[in-house]
Amino acid sequence: MTSDLVDIFLLSLVAMFNPTLLAAVTVMLLLPNPRRLMVGYLLGAYVAAIGPGLLLVFVLPHSSATSTAKRTLDPVEDLVLGGVALALALALRVRGRPSVQRRRRASKEAKLRARREAGKPTESMPMRMLGKGDPRLTFVVGVLLSFPGVAYLDALDHIHHLDPGIVATVLLVTYFCVAQQILIELPLLGFLFAPERTRAAVAGFRS
C-alpha cells in the first residue's frame, strides 16, 4: 500500500512539469483579465481529467473482458514497453548530437519562415484559441489539453491496485488532477489571497 501511495505522489510530481501548460499560462498572463481565462481553462481541465479518471478506476477495471485482456496482454505489454524504452533511449541519444540538433533547428526555422511568408499561422490551434481571450474558449482548450496522459494513467493503475475504498479513491484521483494543474492554480491562488501583489507581478511579467 505504501509503495503505491509513493508512486502516485511521485507521478503527480512528474505531471506537474507540463511544458504545454506552461505555454498556455504564459499566453493567458499576457492577455487582459487572465484570471477569468485561467478559471475557464482550469474548469475544462478538471472536467477532462477527473471524470475519465474516475471512470477508468471504478468502471473499466471491473469488467470481465478488461480483466481477461489485462491477464493476456501482461507479457506482451512488458515486451512492448521494453521495446519502446529502447527506441526512446536510442532516439534521445541521436537527438542529443550537436549535428542533429542543428539540422532540426534549421528545419524548424525554415518551416516557420515558410508559414510566415505564406501568411499562415505559426502557432498551434489551442494556442490560437487561447489568444482570443474568451473564457469559453479557454475552457475548450483546457478540455483538449488535459485528457489523461501517461503519468496519469500510470497513477490510476496504482490507485486501482491500492483499492482504498470509494471516498479515498475519489480523493486520490482529485488530488492527482489538482496537482498536475499546479502551474495554473498558483497564479489563481495569488489573485485570490494577494491580488495587489499578483497584479503587480503580472504587469511586470507583461512588460
Q: What is the per-residue pLDDT across 73-88, written as a single tens digit (0 to 9) for each?
A: 445 445 544 555 565 5
Cβ atoms of 48 and 147 closer than 8 Å: yes
Of 7-16, 59-68, 141-150, 167-176, least confident by mean pLDDT is: 59-68
Q: What is the per-residue pLDDT across 10-52, written as a single tens digit (0 to 9) for each?
A: 888 888 888 888 888 888 887 778 888 889 889 999 988 998 8
For residue 26, the 8-state DSSP code is: H
* Interval 191-197 mean pLDDT: 87
pTM: 0.63
Angle ∠(65,70,75) on CA atoms, nearest 5: 145
Give me the helix-helix angle, 182-193 and 166-179, nearest 10°: 80
For residue 194, give the C-alpha cell.
494577494
Q: What is the dihedral of CA 150, 153, 154, 157, to 10 degrees?
A: -160
For residue 140, give the C-alpha cell.
475548450
Nearest to 174 by CA among 152, 157, 158: 152
User: How far is the CA of 140 from the CAs of 15, 40, 46, 97, 173, in angstroms?
Assistant: 20, 8, 11, 38, 21
Is the pLDDT score of 68 beyond 50?
no
* Interval 97-104 mean pLDDT: 61
Cα–Cα distance, 103 to 115 (Å, whole number): 18
